[in-house]
Chains A and B, each alone.
Chain A
Amino acid sequence: MQEIAVSALIVIGAAFTFIGSLGLARLGDFYSRLHGPTKATTLGVGSLLIASVIYFSTSGSGVSLHEVLVTLFLFITAPVSAHLLAKVALHLGVRSIAPPPPQVQSARGAEGAATDQRSAPRGSGSGASTTRATG
């Protein structure tokens, strides 16, 4: 019984992991590719880790729950990385099938101006240091 459950969870988890990477490889634009790894791969690895919990808890000595920690960690961090990556792609203006909404464009202009302002003194500083070094 326990072996059947572990085997089923392992195969299902590996299949979801594979489908997540398949989505990464074959979908059309970056924002669509983002969906595969965030959802399918996270659930796949979660399922594999639950299989590991069942396997080590029933065969080894005593309860083994520490895989839950990795699962929780992945479930918390995967959406955060996905959000950051989407933000980066919007910031860089990566090509997208869906039309990007106008409010991002205006905010991006403002943000770009702010970063330009901040990077300007740093550039001049490095220029000054190189002139000093050559002088």
Chain B
Amino acid sequence: MTAAITVDGLEVIFDRFRALKGVSLEVNSGESFGLVGESGSGKSTLLRAIAGLAPVASGSITVNGKKLGARRDKAFYREVQMVFQDPYGSLHPRQTVDRLLQEPLAIHGFADGEKRIQRALDEVGLGNGFRFRYSHQLSGGQRQRVAIARALILEPSILLLDEPTSALDASVQAEVLNLLEEVRRRRKLTFLMVSHDLAIITHMCERLMVMQSGKAVESLSAAQLVGHRVTEDYTRNLLRASEGFVRTG
């Protein structure tokens, strides 16, 4: 098995705040890997650092065997795409879906845009009827589908998912998670997915890493988590919390 993403001793510092304190991680090609933790644990920062959206102070990131520098080139973004948490904030409010999907194609100089846009929309289950709508005319779930279509249109091999369903209803969440699993299977994608919900991570990922205040607490497989075979108290707490409210006394 080859590594799709290797992160080694990564430090991210915002002004004087150390958001990531030496985190290492290896995601195999074709694998789905989860990052869990509370707000402020650095899980999103790690994802953003890989995408080139956070100031890396030290450490290294390697994607598909290529070590990344301070700037990401175009070839990187053909390989790695990201889906953000808030579908209300991540689509341009004054562009139609068609225009939104043309943007990455224009940047990367694809000629067969027409065909690709149609295929991308079909793939995420939206169809042609949504092509000339604005994002405010779509529901949250539909917007997230557009964001996924935009990520897939360049045919990347790695998808970075930052809480892709936390802004959605439980019922719409199921649809989007199913869609993500389906495209992953069909295109043999590598997923690196961030969520605060252990149930979602165990559903979607084979392995996961638990993070707390900028550090890795524990790495384990989904099966270990399901079997409650965890070693750290922090993970145990998260696990208990995800089982829902229990009245005491």
Partners in one complex: no
B residues at A contact (CB < 8 Å): none
A residues at B contact (CB < 8 Å): none
